[in-house]
Structure 1
Amino acid sequence: MRWNKRLNSPELNIVYVCAGAVFTAGVAACLLRGLFFTGEMYPFLTVWFALCGLLVAPVLAVFELHKRTDGRGQESGGPVMKKAALTLLGCPLAILVLYAWAGLRGPISAQGTLDELLRWGFYASFAVLAYFCAGYRQGARLLGAMWHAMGMAISLSALFAVCAGFKLPYAVAYTSAPEVSATGARLAGLLEYPNTFGAVMAVFLLERLFAAASLMESAKPRPSAIKQSVATGVYGMLPLFPYAAALLLSESRGAWLSAAFAGAAVLLWKRQLCAPLLLAGAAPMAAAALFYRQLARAGLAVEPAPGLLLLAGLWGAALLGGAWLCCRRQVAAGGGCAARVALAAVMWTAAGSAVLLQVRERITGPSSTVAARGLLYRDAWKLAAEAPWLGRGGGTWRSSYLAAQSRPYVGSQVHNGYLDLLLNLGGVGLAILLLLLIAAGWLVAAAAPRLLPSLLALALHSAVDFDWSYGLMWLLLFLLPALARAEKLHSVDAGEPPQLPASAEPPPVPGGPGRPAAAAALLFSVALALFILSFQAMRGETLYKQAAGTSQNRERIVLLRQSLQWNPRDPMTAAALSRMLPGNQGRDLILKSLKYSPENAALKWELAKRALEGEHPGTAMYWVRRGQQLDVFNAAKRIEAAEGMLDMSVRRLREGDWTSARQSAEAGLELLRQYRLLGERESGKGIQHNDRRFGNVQEAEGLGLRLKGVRSEAWHLEMAIRL
């Protein structure tokens, strides 16, 4: 039975406002570099949480109105599906609570925990709004438009940056290392990081490939149906070429493998889609491979006119070839259909071979990046063992890796989303994350299996890179179940989404009339708290940037003080201000900031530098060792510490305190000895993973001679006094 869509005006307005908010979040994710830098997100998050606070009551009222929908309501699903949906929407809230609890317990980084708290407040509210909008045809249409607009904007902006001279900073990542890029240039697009850009393109490519294959498989063998399905299929295949081309130009092996494994896993389940998928993707993939080979020879540097012609020509060829194969598959039978499937398979093989020949050395040869990831993972597991259950709060790896690293690599990202959350929230947080992914996979597989490869690609690639540091990836992850729900409710076969008739009474609200009001009050309080926190962080960030842009010391101090008043958790602001304050004022400020970031290497080093300017070698050595423990492989700090001890020794020698002068010189020599031993050990391991070039101790030889000279002079003077 088909129900007619009947929405009253206030309810329809709520749907449009929520869909508009979700669409705006997608636009922000594209324009703000994939929502990677939290500092760039503060203004958007402030507006977002204010809007969420206003929407709490009306959205909750609509949820309560349509809560009991079996038989009369909006969607009919079994208890398992309802529990999966509740789990999907509840897990982000649970992670939000864990970060709030970590903030109260005293995290390793209060600023990092605040950033994650704001992020997960955003993700949780986005997931709820997207899932809510999917229940209405108007909202579902906007969700679909948002999905395709995001994919095309991300792919075409990157391709136009290469082929049309479109000004997009850092759209291309250049490197001279052959193990990083076979061509010396990789496409990074709006995300400015090729690996995650490739993963995003794989998600969109898989969605369109399986959509086209599913459409071909479900087409009826009537001429009118064939004509309609072919026309719709061509329209659906329109983004395939730019998605495939952008994916190949990213040269992300992880993204390629994730897409291949995800697609193969679903094809093993849905074997009937193999032939349609081969036909739908053959021409776009072959054209994309040719496009990649042409641009690879030029190092992604082509003139705008030839580049645009190449892009347009291959895109058109991909569309025509795809339309011909799909149309012929519908009208052909027997041997004719088998021949076209074989032709499509040959085209896929040729495309794959052309790409693999270009990057064969990166695939068959030893990979320094894979080995580096293994080293990161081993260090991260050791760090996770220190707080295995609840972790140490947001930003744990970024705050601790300099102390935890076993080699002098550069890696402020752990390159594994699961490990990153394990470090932040421990085993409890990781279990919630896995539960979230299972719930999302269950919902997608039950409602729209064609979307499952995209979800699997997200989950797989996040295990080998820091995709989940990008807010865009979480938006895509929560959009997929929402799109699956919309497709199930509003597909052509399902007809109009079932709705309550105008004459029907709304179902009673479980728990009495006070329960929705209490829930609304709670959610409004959470939104208000997040709004206040994001506004404070935004003001602090704005004032910090203003201080960095002024040349007047007095004005800079005022701005930095104001920044800390708004956001006292930021260690960068505290360190910058402490350098401009005299004596005890700067020291007290650092000690106060250490309450928010107890293991911050920069703050501890500021204390060490102040101690080196003092009169007590024992105090100086204490803070120097604390600072070196938090940044083991920092050669500059080790040299600076020895120089500080030399200066202290010279000062004490001039003041007649020969014992302290000798002790300071001996402490400096001990620091150099430790540096020399550690440097020799690292030099013996080779240059691999020694990104910080730690181990060059030649610069310390002259410093050691000066320290020995001051020590000898202080010792002789001390002996002369005793005699």
Structure 2
Amino acid sequence: MDDTAMTKGLTVRNLNMETLTLALFIFCGPFFRGYIFESQLMWATLVISLGFIVFLLRRRLPQDITLYLLLALTAMYAASIGYGTDHREALDSLLKVAFLIPLYIFAQSVTRQWMNRIWMVWVWLTAMSVPLGVATDQFVDGRLAGFIDYANGYAILLLVGIIMTFALSVRGFSSSKWMQIPIFLCAVGICLTESRTVLALLFVAFVLLFFWSRRSFPLLWFRCSANVALGIAAATAYAWSPLLVIPVIVVFVLGYRLSDSMISHGYVRLILLAVVPLLVILALWSGSSMASRWSTLVSRTGEGFTRLVYYHDAWSMVLDSPVWGFGAGTWAYMQYHYQTAAYFTAYVHNQPLQVMIEIGIVGFLIFAAVCVSLVVRGFSAAKQKDEIEAKFDHFRMLACCILMMHSLVDFSLSFPYLLGLLFILGAPSDESASAANKVGRSVTVKTTAGIVTAGALIIATLLLVSDQLQQSATRAIGEKRKADAVLLLDRSASVAIFADRIHDRKARLYMREYESNQDPRYLDVARDENEKSLSGHSEQIWYRKLNSDILWMQGDRQKAVAVLSELVQQNRFMARWREELGQKEAQMKN
């Protein structure tokens, strides 16, 4: 398929709401922290929900098993708001799942030509984010984190970019040489992230790409693998000195100008097969930081052992509530109750375990069924297409599976953007969807989807207004307008669905005022606000710790020490609290 065929049919008339909404979600995600922060998640939900409501007014929904499973999964997360303890966190999780339904339907409905163009723009944006991230110093602890601000999540995004670039090169074979630039840049980025898991998955992906393309597109595979190796070499050279990148870029340009007829010679292929793995191994081994990261996997005190420990702790948590789970967001504060070693992580680095903790084995079975449905239907649809389209679907589903595999050892799918990308990649194209699905005559599914979307829209709007008021309060505090800040926080609490976090923030604000002028009236208000936050989330350890601090300042030292002692017993590895408890007990004896 040439470039003309890829873009044929692209007109303003068929640029509809679902295409615009989907493109906006895909393009903006890598540059807006993957929608991980609440305000970004609310904006994304707001835009997607509005687009889906417009879609529902003029289109019917297909009879689709994956759609039904997504509705069931959304219902599970909605129910977890009621029985979970962290209601506010459960709302965020509900929104992350709820907008998967519109994204999945949009990805099915967008025409193949527009989807080609969206992916083409996306791979270039993703690739260009690497030099832009390096230039703007988007590094965290020496690792390139990109604008997602998380190195491992950025690495898996770049790997998906490489696979989709390879897939697009197959569809538009005449432009495949130009597409080597994104592959080279994404490989540079992956190495700079120092993500061991993604490097291993990169190797697995290229082995599978070789078997799928060795007959039809062998030259493309050789060219891509060579440029990935050069990208890794360039990243390693950059770690030594930025000037050393120049020779690697020169080699890349020379290779770019190398004709396909030259690569087709057998001896050139043999040289590439021998040199490329050697170049990758030498580059990775010579990077001291990467070598040290690999060494921690086998150390008893390193990350490998730590992961096994908190997998064990997470499973213990699952066994305490196996059927329905503890509700979304529970692990972020209950991990301290279950941990058996001194580590900290806000998430379980295993998506199945995280789902089981949140909504139990029942919810996990639904989530697993959704993933299996995506993969099975994706590969089944490829069997009914011509060779090039079938290969494209194979590569697209490979990217989908790579994302799933990465979620087994990392919390990449906790990013709403990467979770949404999983379902966009897995959704069947418009032609295969229309062939496999019948248009639903019943209004039940459409009505249910509309109710879910309307609910998500209302929740996102309220939470967004509340968040904007809190941001205004933060600015007011910075400008020493504390009375205005309190009024803004009160307004924020009035529109927030669950306001325990806002009351906690007010309590801490009044605490600071008491500490600055020793007026006991501020302390009384702080205690009232703290009690309001505890009424909304009685098990939240930071609310309880603040309660202990307030009681101590008010003179009720015995009760303050009792609360702190209980916290220390339940959270054995909070060393600061244990030390503070010892000091306060000593003061009481004196």
Same fold (TM over 0.5): yes
Does residue 628 in structure 1 map to residue 568 in structure 2?
yes
Does residue 121 in structure 1 map to residue 98 in structure 2?
yes
What is the CA distance between 1:111 and its match in structure 2?
0.9
**1:611 aligned residue:** 551
Partner secondary structure for residue 348 of structure 2: coil
Tell me the amino acid that sits aligned with residue 271 of structure 2: L
**2:386 aligned residue:** none
Q: 1:262 to 1:16 in 2, by over 3 A?
A: same
| Conserved 8 A contact 2:26-2:421 | no
Question: What is the CA deviation profile of residues 6-27 of structure 1, one whole-angstrom value per residue up to 9, with x for unaligned ones?
Answer: xxxxx99676211001001112
Measure the CA separation in 1 of the matches of 2:417 and 2:21: 15
Among 168, 177, 180, the residue aligned to 1:234: 177
What is the CA distance between 1:539 and its match in structure 2?
1.5
Among 317, 327, 337, the residue aligned to 1:403: 337
Among 525, 528, 540, the residue aligned to 1:600: 540
**2:310 aligned residue:** 376
Does residue 152 in structure 1 map to residue 119 in structure 2?
no
Partner secondary structure for residue 385 of structure 1: helix
| Conserved 8 A contact 1:568-1:593 | no
1:625-664 maps to which residues of 2 (within 5 A)?
625-629=565-569, 631-642=571-582, 645=584
Partner secondary structure for residue 177 of structure 2: helix
Tell me the amino acid that sits aligned with residue 70 of structure 2: P
Q: 1:441 to 1:521 in 2, by over 3 A?
A: closer
Q: 1:611 to 1:158 in 2, by over 3 A?
A: same
What is the CA distance between 1:371 and its match in structure 2?
2.1
Tell me the amino acid that sits aligned with residue 279 of structure 1: F
What is the CA distance between 1:172 and its match in structure 2?
1.6
- For structure 1, the residue ranges without an aligned partner over 5 or more in a row are 1-10, 68-81, 175-184, 216-227, 490-496, 499-506, 646-667, 669-703, 711-723
Partner secondary structure for residue 99 of structure 2: helix
Q: 1:37 to 1:317 in 2, by over 3 A?
A: farther
**1:347 aligned residue:** 275
**2:76 aligned residue:** 98
Among 493, 498, 513, the residue aligned to 1:569: 498
1:521-540 maps to which residues of 2 (within 5 A)?
521-540=447-466
| Conserved 8 A contact 2:324-2:361 | yes
Question: What is the CA deviation profile of residues 223-257 of structure 1, one whole-angstrom value per residue up to 9, with x for unaligned ones?
Answer: xxxxx95x343244342211222122221110011
Does residue 545 in structure 1 map to residue 471 in structure 2?
yes
Tell me the amino acid that sits aligned with residue 132 of structure 2: F
Tell me the amino acid that sits aligned with residue 51 of structure 2: L
Using structure 1 for the length normalisation, give the TM-score.
0.69
Name whichever of 146-155 and 629-638 sits farther off: 629-638
Measure the CA separation in 1 of the matches of 2:209 and 2:224: 16
Measure the CA separation in 1 of the matches of 2:574 and 2:335: 12
Question: What is the CA deviation profile of residues 201-239 of structure 1, one whole-angstrom value per residue up to 9, with x for unaligned ones?
Answer: 112212334565x57xxxxxxxxxxxx95x343244342
| Conserved 8 A contact 1:108-1:599 | yes
**1:458 aligned residue:** 403
Measure the CA separation in 2 of the matches of 1:46 and 1:374: 39
What is the CA distance between 1:443 and its match in structure 2?
2.6
Partner secondary structure for residue 294 of structure 1: helix
Tell me the amino acid that sits aligned with residue 363 of structure 1: W
Among 528, 539, 558, the residue aligned to 2:487: 558
Measure the CA separation in 1 of the matches of 2:367 and 2:438: 34
Q: 1:32 to 1:418 in 2, by over 3 A?
A: same
Measure the CA separation in 2 of the matches of 1:316 and 1:570: 57
What is the CA distance between 1:351 and its match in structure 2?
2.4
Tell me the amino acid that sits aligned with residue 194 of structure 1: A
**1:249 aligned residue:** 192
| Conserved 8 A contact 2:229-2:279 | yes
**1:177 aligned residue:** none
Does residue 316 in structure 1 map to residue 283 in structure 2?
no
What is the CA distance between 1:627 and its match in structure 2?
3.2
Partner secondary structure for residue 132 of structure 2: helix
Measure the CA separation in 2 of the matches of 1:27 and 1:349: 33
Measure the CA separation in 2 of the matches of 1:142 and 1:151: 14
Measure the CA separation in 2 of the matches of 1:602 and 1:59: 48
Question: What is the CA deviation profile of residues 319-366 of structure 1, one whole-angstrom value per residue up to 9, with x for unaligned ones?
Answer: 224xx2x3446xx6xxx4x32321220232232222232244543564
| Conserved 8 A contact 1:52-1:527 | yes
What is the CA distance between 1:276 and its match in structure 2?
4.5
Name whichever of 274-283 and 379-388 sits farther off: 274-283
Partner secondary structure for residue 406 of structure 1: coil
What is the CA distance between 1:563 and its match in structure 2?
1.5
**1:363 aligned residue:** 294
What is the CA distance between 1:315 and its match in structure 2?
4.4
| Conserved 8 A contact 2:21-2:47 | no
Does residue 439 in structure 1 map to residue 382 in structure 2?
no
What is the CA distance between 1:289 and its match in structure 2?
3.0
**2:42 aligned residue:** 42
**2:516 aligned residue:** none
Measure the CA separation in 2 of the matches of 1:313 and 1:397: 49
What is the CA distance between 1:534 and its match in structure 2?
0.8
Among 211, 222, 231, the residue aligned to 1:288: 231
Measure the CA separation in 2 of the matches of 1:279 and 1:54: 45
Measure the CA separation in 2 of the matches of 1:318 and 1:457: 28
What is the CA distance between 1:269 and its match in structure 2?
7.0
**1:665 aligned residue:** none
What is the CA distance between 1:117 and its match in structure 2?
0.8
Measure the CA separation in 2 of the matches of 1:15 and 1:234: 29
Measure the CA separation in 2 of the matches of 1:593 and 1:14: 50
What is the total number of aligned residue pairs between the two structures? 551
Tell me the amino acid that sits aligned with residue 154 of structure 1: T
Does residue 481 in structure 1 map to residue 412 in structure 2?
no
Measure the CA separation in 1 of the matches of 2:58 and 2:20: 15
**2:390 aligned residue:** none
Measure the CA separation in 1 of the matches of 2:535 and 2:201: 42
What is the CA distance between 1:588 and its match in structure 2?
4.2
Please give the root-mean-square deviation of Cα atoms over the aligned residues, in Å: 3.3
Overall identity of the aligned pairs, in %: 18
Tell me the amino acid that sits aligned with residue 303 of structure 2: T
Measure the CA separation in 1 of the matches of 2:183 and 2:537: 47
- For structure 2, the residue ranges without an aligned partner over 5 or more in a row are 1-10, 383-392, 511-520
Tell me the amino acid that sits aligned with residue 76 of structure 2: L
Measure the CA separation in 2 of the matches of 1:486 and 1:519: 20
Pick the structure with greater CA Rg.
1
| Conserved 8 A contact 2:49-2:457 | yes
